[in-house]
Structure 1
Amino acid sequence: MREKVYEPYEVIETCLLAGKIMLQSGAETYRVEDTMIRIAASYGINQAHSYVTPTGILFSIDGVEPTKLVRILERSTDLQKVTQVNGISRTISSGVLSPNEAIQKLKEVEREPHAYPVWIQIIAAAISSGCFMLMFKGDWTDFVPACIAGGAGFTCLLYFNHLLKVKFFAEFSASLVIGLVSLLFVTLDVGKELDKIIIGSVMPLVPGLLITNAIRDLMAGHLVSGISKGAEAFLTAFAIGSGIATVLSLF
């Protein structure tokens, strides 16, 4: 137990900021709740309660302090930030950081840009598209078309997601571009197997982390978060399928 007693509102702000960063960066629900409870316990508050959903965090402690809510409007995948917050949480548990110092470190993590710049993300998506195409027993002659289609689709996803702020339309537009580019390559006899090119190119759009987190949350007993993440993953899959189906039905 710490000798120094900290103000409850400082502890609450620290816990909420840590949970917010983790949830926005793609952490599982149970991991977010566990981290917040551990931070509170490290500051001498053993009766803390957290309730986390994909769109919000509720946190309270026994006493006169009111329950606080943080809304989560944007979510992405940045596991480096999740690791950094976990590191700060361990440092807090060791008794090194005060709440104010922890908040400053957490704000630095929150302000950090994405782990990789956009151009690296696009190149990685393009190369992985070609590799996925090969994994699905595609021909080496379709490697470059798959890379270009996958890179173009991922670029479209990032652009429309930034422009529209509506994930469904961004994913639908990205899959539409992938279908059009793949069809163009096959029409020009640059590519051979349309289905393999399309399958490899859409793989960077597939919500693998969402599906994994949904299953893990359901297994951990977080039914609301698990079902909602599963629904979000289904909506993403539906958007991808709709974009490809639109191209194939029109051409």
Structure 2
Amino acid sequence: MELNINKHEEYLKDVIILAGEILLESGAGGYRIEQTMNQIARHFGYADCNSFVTNTVINFSLHDLTYPRVKRVTARNTNLIKVSRVNAVAHQITSDQLTVEEALEKLKVIQDQSESYPAHYKAVASALVGLSFLYLQSGDMQNIATAMIAAAAGFFVKERVASIVQSLFIPEFIGALLIAFIVIAMNHGLTDPELSVTLIAAVMPIVPGVLITNSLQDLLAGNLMMALTKGLEAAVTSFAIGQV
């Protein structure tokens, strides 16, 4: 059977695939990505659309008489700013505030943006996370500076290594190793160092919380393949941290 090529449908598929690609690269869960893609398609009357997302591949088809699209995604990070902006564009599309062409241009701008929070903001936030977990574990006041410095330095180094080495295990391992060195060095000579409590608090900023949460969400939504791949990715990252 010969497939039809419709310019409007091709533009629409461009929008849907690009939205899914940005969401997947930015750390969104598979169920949410599929839901967003299907909502856009159904808004334009394509009730029989199909989408299937794994942590590296996006598959989408508007209907049986058009070419399906397959997109390979290799870069993945956590960027909630982009997730929020893509969701806003999807809402504007489904509320008829944007045409397909306008939405495509907006999504291209979002994709090209490298905008994220500055490194020093992330370092400060990581230090506060370390402090919070030290408090939750009833850590000693003498370890506050150690936990904050180690958490900030470990997260910053992990981010820098991840921007150079496109690998799962290595950035987290190096970040956790630096945290361990800082905690041990700064606790040297203290009467009651509580190394384990301080270490746990300091490594929390590099624990793959987003991956774990997305894995559980996809598991509850019935997307078992996405849940399994996200879970394995989180397990590998956690293993790298635990090796230290």
- The TM-score, its normalising length taken from structure 2, stands at 0.92
Tell me what 2:151 maps to.
Answer: 150
**Cα RMSD, aligned residues only:** 1.7
Alignment of 1:1-251 (within 5 A): 7-189=8-190, 192-242=193-243, 244=244
Distance 2:83 2:21 in 1: 10
Runs of 4+ in 1 over 4 A off after TM superposition: none
CA contact (8 A) 1:126 1:148 kept: yes
- Secondary structure, aligned partner of 1:54: coil
- Aligned to 2:75, what secondary structure does the other structure show? coil
Partner SS, residue 187 of structure 1:
coil
DSSP 3-state at the match of 2:187: helix
Task: Quote the offset at 1:167 in angstroms.
Answer: 2.1
| Partners of 2:192 and 2:130 in 1: CA distance | 14
Find the counterpart in structure 2 of residue 247 from structure 1.
none
Query: How many residue pairs end up in the alignment?
Result: 239
Instruction: Assess if the C-alpha contact under 8 Å between 1:142 and 1:197 holds in 2.
Output: yes
Partner of 1:249: none
2:10 counterpart letter in structure 1 = Y
Q: Which amino acid aligns with 1:73?
A: T
- How far residue 195 of structure 1 moved from its aligned partner, in angstroms, is 1.1
Change beyond 3 A, Cα 1:6–1:97? farther
Counterpart Cα distance in 1 of 2:96 and 2:78: 30
Q: What are structure 2's unaligned runs of at least 5 residues? A: 1-5
CA shift at 1:164, angstroms?
1.4
The alignment-based identity, stated in percent, is 35
TM-score, with structure 1 as normaliser: 0.90
The alpha carbon displacement at 1:63 in A equals 4.5
Q: Distance in 2 between matches of 1:64 and 1:88?
A: 27
Change (3 A) 1:102 1:193: same
- The Cα of 1:149 is off from its aligned counterpart by 1.0
